[in-house]
């Protein structure tokens, strides 16, 4: 069964929420693809999309270089929904007017909508929406009706039902728009006729069948890190071809406490996978000896990872395919989308393509992270692995300021394990997106019993974020911080001071190095 009969095209005009729109459409169980706005009407027709969404964007429609779409798109008969800049562009290109206002309308705004329109069917007449714009539609094109207004916006939404064209000035994809998902569903189901067929259960069955066919009797190699992406990718391949898949798990010794054993146990015992665990801590630590510069640490670990992986894979003889856990945001961020993305980190698992394989297998190329997690649950991967917070490839090496020694690693692993345990005990692990301990490299004076101490300072870092590009420090209850602090002081040797990091990103980063 092909599970992508229905696909929505999201045309990216460079808006900050473009990926979020795509995720929301997927949450409505409709498959969608994010493509640059330059896609032509011909290409769209050929691909057979059932609907099109124009995203927002940073430009004014009147800018000299303002991005415009192929005008033929409006003649295809495919339903189009314009959001923010996309709405203004639709208005302007079809003969309406867009004006620039003195003040930016930003934040939560009350709109009043016409519930007999398609988009606002079953919606509340008055509701809160999220606005973020300076320009606004002042006159709708011929044939369009105004379907929503706000105090500052004469056209908060408009539609031409005969041509299946819809537009909204606000952002339905943002959580603050109370009924945003309903408006999107009305577009997807009622205008485009989508049937909510995109489900992770079908994705899993379908992908396994396709992988079986593609791989045949060939052999596949996978670098398993224990992170959710590589785990789900490997398991899909394993379900398809069983022992034809070999996974190499390079344990660089910079993982969190007990993590290496957990990964091994899940994949070897629970799933009976062909797993090779390489305990390479000594190799990594000797390469890292005396190195204090963060980028140098990253580089050494990245290079050594590839070397260990190559050494191990050579022992296995010829392998035909390399399986990788690339996910949709990686694909989009590597240049498919329009948004300017600042991305400075690469996973250590990034392997050179010239390692001599017939091809690369990337079963998660079309999925967002939330979908990867759902697929993981469908496959029976334990929740603690599926919901695991992101963990940097270079591991604890970038959470120990300065040089790395086995002793420092032990201190950090123990402190970090206590913090994680208390977060789970207090139910913070699902609401806080990333949390960990840092060995700051600062020693300070303390008293313990009757004696003076001069020992390590551990910093606790916990952030909430949706994309890890920006983040806020988490408002962790004081009693939880107190418990963690007491436990670390009492249970971990050589630590006499705990501090909590209250900096957002920017200006700080999430990691300390
Ligand atoms: P920063 O510290 O830049 O981190 O705010 C943003 C996200 O990226 C992770 N991170 C890394 N991931 N290799 C990785 O695979 C790295 O070198 C690296 N540095 C940071 C970080 O944990 C956070 O989730």
- 346-370 pLDDT per residue, tens: 444 456 655 678 899 999 999 999 9
Residue from 84, 113, 153, 323 carrying the catalytic annotation: 84
Ligand 1, closest atom to CA 389? 24
Beta-strand runs (E) in 396-494 = 434-448, 451-464, 472-473
- Whole-model pTM: value is 0.86
pLDDT tier, 102 (very low <50, low <70, confident <90, very high otherwise): confident
DSSP 260-277: HHHHHIIIIIIT--EEEE
Nearest CA to ligand 1 atom 6: 468
Residue 345 has pLDDT above 70, yes or no: no
pLDDT (0 to 100) of residue 338:
45
Summarize the confidence of residues 448-466 as an average pLDDT.
94
Closest CA to 249 of 265, 397, 241: 265
Report yes or no: 263 and 249 within 8 Å, Cβ to Cβ.
Answer: yes
User: Quick check: 463 and 456 in contact, CB under 8 A?
Assistant: no
In this structure, the residue with its CA closest to atom 9 of ligand 1 is: 392
* Distance between first and last Cα of the chain: 47
- Residue 166 confidence (pLDDT): 98
Q: Residue 470 Cα, ligand 1 centroid: separation in angstroms?
A: 12
Tokens standing for residue 368: 């967002």
pLDDT confidence band for 3 (50 / 70 / 90) = low
Q: To the nearest whole number, what is the mean pLDDT of the chain?
A: 93
User: What pLDDT is attached to residue 190?
Assistant: 98
Confidence tier at 4 by pLDDT (50, 70, 90): confident
Establish whether 346 is a catalytic residue: no
The pLDDT of residue 6 is above 70: yes
What is the structure's pLDDT at 337?
43
Active-site residue flag, 345:
no
Mean pLDDT of 407-432: 96
Look at residue 222 and tell me whether its pLDDT is greater than 70. Answer: yes
How many angstroms separate the CA atoms of 327 and 341, rounded? Answer: 16
Q: 139 an active-site residue?
A: no
Average pLDDT over residues 494-498: 97
What spacing in Å lies between the alpha carbon of 184 and ligand 1's midpoint?
33
* Residue 320: pLDDT over 50: yes
Question: Residues 474, 464: contact at Cβ < 8 Å?
Answer: yes
Residue 513 has pLDDT above 50, yes or no: yes
Domains annotated on the chain, with CATH: 7-191 (3.40.50.880), 200-386 (3.40.50.620), 406-500 (3.30.300.10)
pLDDT in tens, 426-439: 999 989 999 999 99
Place 467 in a pLDDT band, splitting at 50, 70 and 90: confident
Protein residue whose Cα sits closest to atom 24 of ligand 1: 390
pLDDT at residue 334, as a whole number: 66
Q: What does the pLDDT read at residue 342?
A: 30
| Cα–Cα distance for residue pair 49/38, rounded to 1 Å | 16
Higher pLDDT, 5 or 130: 130
Question: 135-170 pLDDT, tens per residue?
Answer: 999 999 999 999 999 998 999 999 999 999 999 999
Distances (CA, A) of 225 to 51, 262, 344: 38, 11, 20
What pLDDT does 353 receive?
57
- Per the DSSP assignment, residues forming a β-bridge with 177 are none
State what percent of residues in the chain have pLDDT above 70.
95
Q: Based on DSSP, count helices (H) and strands (E) in the chain, helices before strands.
A: 14, 18
pLDDT in tens, 246-271: 999 999 999 999 999 999 999 999 99
What is the CA(421)–ligand 1 centre distance, in A?
22
Say if strands 472-473 and 434-448 run parallel, antiparallel, or are unpaired: unpaired
**196-215: per-residue pLDDT in tens?**
999 999 999 999 999 999 99
Q: How many residues would you count in the chain? A: 513
Structural contact between residues 321 and 234, judged by C-beta atoms closer than 8 angstroms: no
Q: What is the 3-state secondary structure (H, E, C) of 308-334?
A: HHHHHHHHCCCCCEEECCCCHHHHHHH
Pocket of ligand 1 (CB under 6 A): 298, 345, 347, 390, 392-394, 434, 468, 505, 509-511
Residue of the nearest CA to atom 3 in ligand 1?
509
Sign of CA dihedral 175, 180, 181, 184: negative
CA of 396 to the centre of ligand 1 (A): 11
- Ligand 1 mean position to 392 CA, how many Å? 5
Residue 408 has pLDDT above 80, yes or no: yes
Q: Is the pLDDT of residue 69 over 60?
A: yes
The Cα–Cα gap between 358 and 321 comes to 6
Atom number of ligand 1 nearest to Cα 509: 5
Distance, in Å, from the CA atom of 235 to the CA atom of 212, rounded to the nearest integer, reads 13
């Amino acid at each position: 069964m092909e599970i992508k009969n229905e696909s929505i095209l999201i045309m990216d005009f460079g808006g900050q929420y473009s990926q979020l729109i795509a995720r929301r459409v997927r949450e409505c169980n409709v498959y969608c693809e994010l493509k640059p706005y330059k896609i032509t009407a011909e290409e769209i027709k050929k691909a057979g999309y059932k609907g099109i969404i124009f995203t927002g964007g940073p430009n004014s429609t009147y800018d000299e270089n303002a991005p415009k779409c192929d005008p033929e798109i409006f003649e295809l008969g495919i339903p189009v929904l314009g959001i923010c800049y996309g709405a203004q562009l639709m208005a302007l290109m079809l003969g309406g007017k867009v004006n620039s206002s003195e003040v930016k309308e930003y934040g939560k705004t009350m709109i009043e909508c016409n519930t007999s329109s398609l988009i606002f069917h079953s919606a509340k007449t008055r509701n809160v929406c999220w606005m973020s714009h300076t320009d606004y539609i002042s006159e709708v094109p011929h044939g369009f009706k105004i379907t929503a207004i706000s105090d500052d916006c004469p056209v908060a939404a408009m539609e031409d039902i005969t041509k299946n064209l819809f537009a909204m000035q606000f952002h339905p994809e943002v959580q603050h728009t109370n009924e945003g998902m309903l408006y999107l569903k009305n577009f997807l189901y009622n205008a485009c006729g989508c049937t909510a067929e995109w489900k992770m259960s079908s994705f899993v069955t379908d992908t396994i069948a396709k992988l079986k066919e593609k791989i045949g009797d060939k052999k596949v190699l996978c670098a398993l890190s224990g992170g959710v992406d590589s785990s789900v990718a490997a398991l899909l391949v394993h379900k398809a071809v069983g022992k034809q898949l070999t996974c190499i798990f390079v344990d660089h010794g910079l993982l969190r406490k007990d993590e290496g054993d957990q990964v091994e146990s899940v994949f070897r015992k629970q799933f009976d996978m062909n797993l090779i665990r390489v305990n390479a801590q000594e190799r990594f630590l000797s390469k890292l000896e005396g190195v204090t510069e963060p980028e140098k640490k990253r580089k050494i670990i990245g290079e050594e990872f590839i070397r260990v992986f190559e050494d191990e894979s050579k022992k296995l003889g010829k392998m035909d395919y390399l399986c990788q856990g690339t996910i949709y945001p990686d694909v989009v961020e590597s240049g498919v989308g329009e948004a300017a993305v600042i991305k400075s980190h690469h996973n250590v698992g990034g392997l050179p393509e010239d390692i001599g394989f017939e091809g690369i297998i990337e079963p998660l190329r079309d999925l967002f992270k939330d979908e990867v997690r759902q697929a993981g649950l469908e496959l029976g991967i334990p929740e603690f692995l599926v919901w695991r917070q992101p963990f940097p490839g270079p591991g604890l090496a970038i959470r120990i300021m300065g040089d790395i020694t086995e002793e420092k690693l032990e201190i950090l692993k123990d402190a970090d394990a206590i913090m994680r345990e208390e977060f789970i005990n207090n139910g913070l692990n699902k609401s806080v997106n990333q949390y960990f301990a840092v060995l700051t490299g600062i020693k300070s004076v303390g008293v313990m019993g009757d004696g003076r101490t001069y020992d390590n300072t551990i910093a606790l870092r916990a952030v909430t974020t949706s994309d890890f590009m920006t983040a806020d420090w988490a408002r962790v209850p004081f009693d939880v911080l107190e418990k963690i602090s007491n436990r670390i002081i009492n249970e971990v040797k050589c630590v006499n001071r705990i501090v909590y990091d209250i900096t957002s990103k920017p200006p700080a980063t999430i990691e300390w190095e």
